[in-house]
Structure 1
Amino acid sequence: MKITKVLNNNAVIVLDKEQQEQIAIGPGVGFEKGKNDIVNSNKIEKLFVLKENEKLQQLLLQIPEEHFTLSKEIIMYAEKRLDTKLNDHLLLALTDHISFAIEREKQGIHVKNKLLQEIKILYSAEFDIGLWAIQHIKDQIHTEMPIDEAAFIALHIHTMKIKGGDLHETVRQTAIVRDMVETIKDHLQINLEEDDISYERLITHLRFALTRVNHYEVHSMDGEMLEMIKRKFKVSFQCALEVSKKLSRTHGVELPEEELGYITLHIERLRQH
């Protein structure tokens, strides 16, 4: 393939056999190359149709090349750790995010991630990758990133898994879980230890409860069992009801009564603990 434009040492625009412009990415594909030079196809790792990826071209021209390299290395590490192929669009999203985050840190602007604790529990594998990523950034360019950044990176990686979902929806779901936990804490007037196994179970159950509601699935519970739970754990059931009301009022999400039964059991476990 013939080069029409060099973006940096690791990215060039080429013409394919159909005379369609594509962005070719790979180690050294643009090194000491110029217009009309031929690219060694063995060096190409990814190809993006230029017409569909104009933002990627703009990004590659605007950001430091080392930021692009860092993103590639983080993605390679994530794919190896998760043993899965991540969506190609992650390269654009993650490069854009990381470059902006690095510039913020250099300016002394620290952005807090309000969903940090929930992300650590719900997406633990991705969060571990995020921790590796911020250490890698520190090792490579001597810029120290806060732990909040590991959580932001984790969300990007999670949503770019084959069935990860949409980033905005993932953030929305995680924020709803946080609101549900806050309602429980306020209603019961208790502090929850975030490293406690009961807390982790509650967070995980609330997330799956939301997933079931979104997919119109019902977590079945025997009617007699539900009535027994209501009688035996009145305080916890009232708390679950409060969670349900606020969820409906604030987010328009309706929890079926069977789901409240299971949430009640998790709340009761927290109270007893």
Structure 2
Amino acid sequence: MKITKILNNNAVVVLDGQHEKIAVGTGIAFNKKRNDIVNVEKIEKLFVMRENDKLQQLLSRIPEEHFTISEEIITYAEAYMGTKLNEHIHIVLTDHLSFAIERIRDGIHLNNKLLHEIKILYRREFEIGLWAIQHIKERCQVDMPEDEAAYIALHIHTMKPQGGDLHQTLRQTAIIRDMVQTIKEHLMITIEEDDISYHRLITHLRSTLTRMNQYGLHTMDEEMLVMIKKKFPLSYNCATEVAKELVVLHAVELHEQELGYIALHIERLRKQ
């Protein structure tokens, strides 16, 4: 493989047959120049991506250490979840982490308003995020808050097979946050984050929104719905308030049968 471009000390563009690839390895470009043959024993990763140009641009403008850290996190995430992530993760996560590290070094901290919901909805990804911020602290002495672990979790989730679009994931999580906020305000209660009923409610609300996006209904027997309205009027009224707020804030309409299921979860939460 012949070097066609040096990106930094640890990354070069090579020509392998008729294909252009990005070779990464510690000191792979040391004392090398264009048209030199790369030492294959130094290659730790070889990228053949549809977005090679974007990755080249990124590698040429960020500190080498940031890319190395990102790759270590990606490797850990794939092993932890037992699945390969979309190749785009090498760009989006590296870009995000590099910016976050520099931002925090400059004393700029961004609060993640979806932190609590992300912890519950994407638990395994959040655990990876916690590992990642500890790894970053050990590698470059930057102390990141849990908010950053949640941002990393979202990137990991959306790069999983069938993980979904990041914008759609953020929107769905924001909708769930607003639904929970309506419940808390309507019932005038505080909710413990580690309460299992709270976790069940959050998980159910995500399932509800997912079914709506897929044009599926969680059917409930009509008699059961009538019984819920009579037996749990406070919780059902709260569910209807949630539905009204959804229309106003997000232009999302819930089917009456869905309100019955939500009311059951609210009732369980209310009794805690």
Corresponding letter in the other structure for 2:267: E
Matches within 5 A, 1:164-243: 164-243=163-242
- 2-structure distance, mates of 1:47, 1:29: 14
Q: TM-score, normalised by structure 2?
A: 0.95
Deviation at 1:35, TM superposition (A): 1.0
Deviation at 1:49, TM superposition (A): 4.6
Conservation of the 8 A alpha-carbon contact between 2:179 and 2:242: yes
Matched with 1:46 is 46
Deviations 1:75-108 (CA, angstroms, capped at 9, x unpaired): 0000110011011110110110001000011111
Matches within 5 A, 1:73-112: 73-112=72-111
SS in 2 for 1:7: strand
Deviations 1:55-84 (CA, angstroms, capped at 9, x unpaired): 221211111100000000000000110011
Matches within 5 A, 1:4-43: 4-18=4-18, 20-41=19-40, 43=43
Deviations 1:209-265 (CA, angstroms, capped at 9, x unpaired): 100111011111111001100111111111111111111222122211111111000
Conservation of the 8 A alpha-carbon contact between 2:55 and 2:91: yes
- 2-structure distance, mates of 1:182, 1:271: 14
Conservation of the 8 A alpha-carbon contact between 2:21 and 2:46: no
Conservation of the 8 A alpha-carbon contact between 1:24 and 1:48: no
- 1-structure distance, mates of 2:188, 2:156: 35
Count the aligned residue pairs: 271
- 2-structure distance, mates of 1:163, 1:227: 37
- 1-structure distance, mates of 2:9, 2:167: 33
Matched with 1:132 is 131
- 2-structure distance, mates of 1:129, 1:199: 22
Q: Are the structure 2 counterparts of residues 220 and 31 from structure 1 closer, same or farther at C-alpha, using a change threshold of 3 Å?
A: farther
SS in 1 for 2:17: coil
Q: Which blocks of at least 5 consecutive residues in structure 1 are unaligned?
A: none
Deviations 1:144-164 (CA, angstroms, capped at 9, x unpaired): 111110000000000000111
- 1-structure distance, mates of 2:271, 2:258: 20
Conservation of the 8 A alpha-carbon contact between 1:7 and 1:57: yes
SS in 2 for 1:88: coil
Deviation at 1:16, TM superposition (A): 3.3
Deviations 1:183-213 (CA, angstroms, capped at 9, x unpaired): 1111111111111111111111101110011
Deviation at 1:53, TM superposition (A): 3.2
Deviation at 1:130, TM superposition (A): 0.4
Deviation at 1:30, TM superposition (A): 2.9
Matched with 1:160 is 159
SS in 2 for 1:46: strand
Q: Which blocks of at least 5 consecutive residues in structure 2 are unaligned?
A: none
- 1-structure distance, mates of 2:15, 2:193: 53
Matched with 2:271 is 272
Q: TM-score, normalised by structure 1?
A: 0.95
Q: Are the structure 2 counterparts of residues 40 and 162 from structure 1 closer, same or farther at C-alpha, using a change threshold of 3 Å?
A: farther
- 2-structure distance, mates of 1:137, 1:108: 16
- 2-structure distance, mates of 1:268, 1:206: 14
Once the two structures are aligned, what percentage of the paired residues are identical? 66
How well do the aligned residues superpose, as a CA RMSD in angstroms? Answer: 1.5
- 1-structure distance, mates of 2:116, 2:138: 25
SS in 1 for 2:21: strand
- 2-structure distance, mates of 1:170, 1:223: 32
- 1-structure distance, mates of 2:49, 2:178: 41
SS in 1 for 2:108: coil
Corresponding letter in the other structure for 2:221: D
Q: Are the structure 2 counterparts of residues 46 and 88 from structure 1 closer, same or farther at C-alpha, using a change threshold of 3 Å?
A: farther
